[in-house]
Amino acid sequence: MRCPSCGCKEDKVVDSRATAEESAVRRRRECLKCGKRFTTYEYVEDVSLLVIKKDGRREAWDRKKVLAGIIRACEKRPVSVEKMEEVVTQVEHAIQKKSDREVQASRIGELVMEKLKIIDDVAYVRFASVYRQFKDVGQFMVELKDILGKDKKKK
């Protein structure tokens, strides 16, 4: 493991524990050269999963790609990186439980939106606007009214 700050390969594990779903091991590491602390996750490698894109292409599941979309949606929002990682893990588990070796990209997007809707409404709308490719403000407003309607019911 290389230190993300200085690139040194020498580090020590400061803390190690299972994630909430017990699907990975979270390790806090400290670089022995610069002293910077960073977190790594260790996962069991599963059978490769293929994502079927809208145009019919198939590509390998890439949790980093899903995480990048979630990070963009949660930018400047009070959502921790750990929470975002948890969403990706939950989506990954849901896909592995319900599918053989292939899953539609649309199913992944729907699962991410379900999780984001619970965590942060703004992040949900941001993700939905890109995922659903809103063409105009009208489509955007329909989604916002749905969220506002649900908020009123909660109160």
The string of pLDDT tens digits covering residues 71-103 is: 999 999 999 999 999 999 999 888 888 767 889
Question: What is the chain's mean pLDDT, rounded?
Answer: 86
24 and 88 housed in the same domain: no
Under the banding of pLDDT at 50, 70 and 90, the label for residue 141 is confident
62 and 1 housed in the same domain: no
65 and 90 housed in the same domain: yes
106 and 53 housed in the same domain: yes
89 and 138 housed in the same domain: yes
Question: What's the total number of domains in the chain?
Answer: 2
142 and 114 housed in the same domain: yes
Angle at 74 between CA 150 and CA 49, to 5 degrees: 95
User: What is the model's pLDDT at position 153?
Assistant: 54
Q: Residue 66 gets which letter from DSSP?
A: H
Q: Which two tokens stand for residue 27?
A: 């390790």
Res. 122: pLDDT tops 60: yes
100 and 79 housed in the same domain: yes
- Mean pLDDT for the stretch of residues 15-30: 88
For residue 2, give its domain range: 1-44
53 and 26 housed in the same domain: no
- Mean pLDDT for the stretch of residues 1-28: 91
17 and 82 housed in the same domain: no
106 and 141 housed in the same domain: yes
Between 137-154 and 121-131, two packed helices, what is the crossing angle to 10 degrees? 150
66 and 92 housed in the same domain: yes
Could you give the percent of the chain with pLDDT greater than 70?
88
98 and 140 housed in the same domain: yes
- Mean pLDDT for the stretch of residues 132-136: 70
